[in-house]
Amino acid sequence: MRTNEISFRIRYSETDQMGVVYHGNYAQYLELARVEWLRSLGISYKSMEEGGIMLPVISLSINYLKPALYDDLITVKVILKKKPAVRIEFDYEITNEAGDLLVTANTVLVFMDTKRKRPTKCPQILLDKLNY
């Protein structure tokens, strides 16, 4: 399935007094990876919203294996699990520079029609980019 990776350095403001990334920040890292995954396909989340589609998260699961620390360079790999329909599901792996697996995660999002506030099918443009 389609994957993408993004790397960035942990900022001091993302850590606690021990220099360990605060657990709540990982949801933001996953979002960053998803948005860049879309961008790698030539689709911006902003353009999807302007086209009347939102993608709220309906499920989030995170497994913390090792801590990420201040100034670590981490890589977030996002993996599309299966062909999107009304829902789209991703797995994630977060590693550090040494290649240590720090976190695994999973999210499920739903395509939402912004006008009707109801779930809708995956936009055809995304399916076309994924060659489905």
Catalytic residue annotation: 16
Q: Which two tokens stand for residue 129?
A: 């980019």
Q: Alpha-carbon torsion 117, 78, 14, 108, what sign? A: positive
Q: Which two tokens stand for residue 16?
A: 């606690």
Pairing of strands 87-95, 118-119: unpaired
Q: Alpha-carbon torsion 11, 81, 43, 60, what sign? A: negative
